[in-house]
A and B are shown apart, each in its own frame.
Chain A
Amino acid sequence: MDSLMQLFYDEANEMVEGMEQVLLALESGEPDPETVNALFRYAHSFKGNSAAMGFTHLSKFTHGLESAMEVLRKEQRPLTPELATLLLQAVDMIRTLLERTRTEGDVGDPACDALLQQINAVINGETLHSPVAPTTSTTPNTPTSTETTETTATEGTPRYRVTYQPAPTLSTEHDPLQLLTELQEYGQVIECRFFEQIPPLEQLKIDACYGSWELVYETAFEPAIVRALLELAAEGAEVRVEPLNASPSSETALPTANETTAAVPMVSVATPPPTETPAAAVATATAAVNTTASKGEAQSIRVSTEKIDALMNLVSEIVIAQSMLSSAQTADTDERVRAAITQMERHVRELHERVMAIRLLPVSYLFNRFPRMVRDTAAKLGKKVSLEIEGEETELDRTLLEALSDPLTHLIRNAIDHGIEPPEERRQNGKPETGTIKLSAYQSEGRIYIEVSDDGRGIDTERVRQKAIQLGWITENDYPSEETLYDFIFQPGFSTAQQVSDLSGRGVGMDVVKRNVESLGGSISVQSKRGEGTRLLLRVPLTLAIMDGLGLTVADEHYIVPLTAVVEVLQYGSLKHTALFDQYEMVNVRGEFIPLVRLRQFVGLSEAESDQDELIVVLEQEDQRIALLIDGIAGQQQVVLKSLEENFVRVPGFAGATILGDGRVALILDVSELIRRGRQSAERHATVA
């Protein structure tokens, strides 16, 4: 369903609920002219919305309702309970119509007009007939369920109305349900209605039966046999079997003529009054609503984000508790306990995935704010920029979306400010005057990629180099690689903008962007070509909260690395090891030389004696690999990402922390930092060479 349609239904459901609440409030309180105004407004906007969507029947009905309300409003008449009841039915009718438009398209309901007629009649002071439908809540006799079996009636099979009132005192031998099941064997129960007449609590007898059934029953057997069957099964019960003048085309097969059985279904009255045809039609429609309404409610609901966040936190705690439970297993653990733990693990994982799915939002929620921003920023800078958006349907965790808002805003501003050239410069360079910024999102390999690219002037690497020299980061004779130069852009204090504008260029941009993205467990990379444009790629995990991790050990310490980054685990002893200049270490993994990072060194431990059992974990991110030397593997587990910054500080080299099964804390390694470390030593030595 497209989003406009969904929006319509969401709003419609809210309006229906609003109308209902107003009406219900009215029942318990003083009639208030303001209520009519509120209802009028609802009907009015409903009419407009449904007309806009092309739902003629809905708009016609709500138009009628609006006109009726208009009369009330003008005359400042309070709502009578009788009218309130009818209006509640009208609300139900709107529900029916909504449900129909959803499932069948723009079809009406035959009872619409009758209901409107009735409402108008009451408003105009005509008491056409006795109150047809007392409010269900005040009626002592309310059917609580209606099941309608689709009529697959063989033409001509006689139908009967069966009224079955079990004996006032239920004896245990008779089970009404069993009886009904039996009936089904001898024929077909077309309709089954249940009526309950439950007295006030103080009069309630626990062994008494307060329910009765009314069936439309189709059977080839004689009425006498049916009656006998029922009586036999339920001693002391009151059973009536009456033949129906079945008209196969009639949907409900409930004749209105029968004096005892004209009880209007659903709206049901204890002693059914004779009813006119419109009323019956209305009531039937209402009956249909109740079965479809339950379906309609499940389509979409609005839940506050706090509730979902609370749920997610709880799931995180369950994941931790689950891993505690799993790690508490020993060789002596009972087989049944083991099985239960395994099963629970599966369920917890699924629970997590489902709650996660609830939190996912299309990235359009974020992207939609940019066209306006681009327009305003470009206008301010006297540039012409068009924004292209792609992949806005890509779904992302809500918290991530929010966290990405600032970095993206900054990147786009930068692109307009530094990337896109002024129109005349573009013209001189043979480019179209209007620059293009492309914002796209896609998912790949369990990560979300967001790309901001422009067709502007690209990054002037020479100017970056000069700036780095000026800042004392490199010397005049240093010619770092392009990638290193791009890295400088993300360093604190770096800004190449010749003029500091109020939009960007204060040198507190890109480093903050990088830090923000990294704190989300993501990374950012740049590609640029002089005169052609710049492309910034952000990679973020699908979710912040929970991820699969691989436990690594070094000495007696335990670290976690995201499983998505792990390529393979190898025996260190089996690999060819090279050390350039005694320092820059690499290992040969099937012909490919990969920089080696020693975890011991990375976490500030002294180097141990070389051990035959040491392992290599090959990690990859952004097509760059490093080999991480570790002591051992501690297994794979789901980890809940916890912030180190919340109560402590950001620790460079680590993306956060998690709580292990035994309650201890383990730090989560930041793969991009590990890779940077590996590459840095490589480059340092490459430049020396």
Chain B
Amino acid sequence: MATITQSTETKPTTEMNTDKYLVFQIGNETYGVPLLQVQEIRTYTPATRVPNAPDYVLGVINLRGNIIAVIDARTRFGLPPLPEDESTVVVVAQVGGKTFGLRLDSVSDVMDIPLDQVQPTPPIASEATQRFLSGVVQVGERVVILLNLREIFDIDALSSIAA
């Protein structure tokens, strides 16, 4: 115990409690996902539609020989989808042992997020979308909404795709 206390004292707190986040813009807001969960960022290639899948599942794509699903972030958040352009990207992430893609309008940055300043999400969003959020944090001028990728992908809900 003593050694642990000592080590925390010697380190500056800012370094201790930051994590790198990939941040991006959806609509007017800035969102962030833990960089550790992000495998790669790809330009968007048209996905193959999966019949009977929920509307936020754009379809499946080929990721170096593996089939992964692509989820449209805007549709998932109940926003009207934007037509794709050069800045449209797919963020390939891993949650729960499965790889999936999240289509975004663009990615802007990688930021150090001070974890101890993350606050619980105020109940701004509807309950349905609330679960996609894991917190809010103010970094300088910007407010970053942190996303819960596991809830966004939600493999259990997808498993009940009807025939």
Whether, in the assembled complex, B99 has its beta carbon less than 8 Å from a beta carbon of chain A, the answer is yes
Whether, in the assembled complex, A430 has its beta carbon less than 8 Å from a beta carbon of chain B, the answer is no
Tell me if A664 and B67 are in contact (CB < 8 A). no
Q: In the complex, A557→B51 CA distance in Å?
A: 11
Tell me if A665 and B159 are in contact (CB < 8 A). no
Q: In the complex, A659→B60 CA distance in Å?
A: 11
Whether, in the assembled complex, A44 has its beta carbon less than 8 Å from a beta carbon of chain B, the answer is no
Residues of A within 8 A of B51 (CB): 602-604, 651, 653-654, 667
Tell me if B67 and A647 are in contact (CB < 8 A). yes
Tell me if B162 and A659 are in contact (CB < 8 A). no
Residues of A within 8 A of B46 (CB): 664
- In the assembled complex, the CB of B59 is this many whole angstroms from the nearest CB of chain A, namely 8
Q: In the complex, A667→B46 CA distance in Å?
A: 14
Tell me if B100 and A664 are in contact (CB < 8 A). no
> Given the known A-B contacts A320-B65, A644-B67, are A657 and B60 also in contact in the complex, defined by CB atoms under 8 Å?
yes
Tell me if B52 and A667 are in contact (CB < 8 A). no
Kindly identify, within residues 103 to 133 of chain B, every residue whose CB is under 8 Å from any CB belonging to chain A.
none
Residue of B nearest to A665 (CB): B48
Q: In the complex, A647→B68 CA distance in Å?
A: 6
Residues of B within 8 A of A359 (CB): none
Most chain A beta-carbon contacts within 10 A, residue among B51, B66, B158: B51
- In the assembled complex, the CB of A76 is this many whole angstroms from the nearest CB of chain B, namely 54
Tell me if A646 and B66 are in contact (CB < 8 A). yes
Residues of A within 8 A of B162 (CB): 652
Interface 1/0s, chain B 66-78, versus A by CB < 8 A? 1111000000000
Tell me if B100 and A648 are in contact (CB < 8 A). yes
Residues of B within 8 A of A649 (CB): 155, 158-159, 161
Tell me if A642 and B66 are in contact (CB < 8 A). yes
Whether, in the assembled complex, A650 has its beta carbon less than 8 Å from a beta carbon of chain B, the answer is yes
Q: In the complex, A316→B62 CA distance in Å?
A: 14
Q: In the complex, A602→B59 CA distance in Å?
A: 16
Whether, in the assembled complex, A432 has its beta carbon less than 8 Å from a beta carbon of chain B, the answer is no
> Given the known A-B contacts A646-B67, A659-B65, are A667 and B50 also in contact in the complex, defined by CB atoms under 8 Å?
yes
| Chain B interface, number of residues (Cβ within 8 angstroms) | 27
Residues of B within 8 A of A648 (CB): 50, 60, 67-69, 98, 100, 155, 158
Q: In the complex, A643→B65 CA distance in Å?
A: 10
Q: In the complex, A603→B155 CA distance in Å?
A: 21
Q: In the complex, A665→B60 CA distance in Å?
A: 7
Residue of B nearest to A677 (CB): B163
Tell me if A647 and B50 are in contact (CB < 8 A). no
Tell me if A642 and B49 are in contact (CB < 8 A). no
Residues of A within 8 A of B159 (CB): 649-650
Residues of A within 8 A of B66 (CB): 642, 646-647
Residues of B within 8 A of A604 (CB): 51-52
Q: In the complex, A643→B60 CA distance in Å?
A: 11
Q: In the complex, A680→B162 CA distance in Å?
A: 16
Kindly identify, within residues 39 to 95 of chain B, every residue whose CB is under 8 Å from any CB belonging to chain A.
45-53, 59-62, 65-69
Residue of A nearest to B157 (CB): A649
Whether, in the assembled complex, A663 has its beta carbon less than 8 Å from a beta carbon of chain B, the answer is yes
List the 7 closest A-B pairs by CB distance, nearest first: A652-B163, A665-B48, A603-B51, A648-B69, A604-B51, A647-B68, A659-B62
- 14 A-B pairs besides A316-B65, A653-B51, A665-B59 with CB distance below 8 A are A317-B65, A557-B49, A604-B52, A644-B67, A646-B66, A646-B67, A647-B67, A647-B100, A650-B161, A651-B52, A652-B161, A659-B62, A659-B67, A664-B48
* Interface residues of B, Cβ cutoff 8 Å to A: 45-53, 59-62, 65-69, 98-100, 155, 158-159, 161-163
- Can you list 27 A-B pairs, Cβ within 8 angstroms, ordered by A? A317-B65, A557-B49, A558-B48, A602-B51, A604-B51, A604-B52, A642-B66, A643-B67, A644-B67, A646-B66, A646-B98, A647-B68, A648-B68, A648-B98, A648-B158, A650-B159, A652-B162, A654-B51, A657-B60, A659-B65, A663-B45, A663-B62, A664-B48, A664-B62, A665-B61, A665-B67, A667-B50
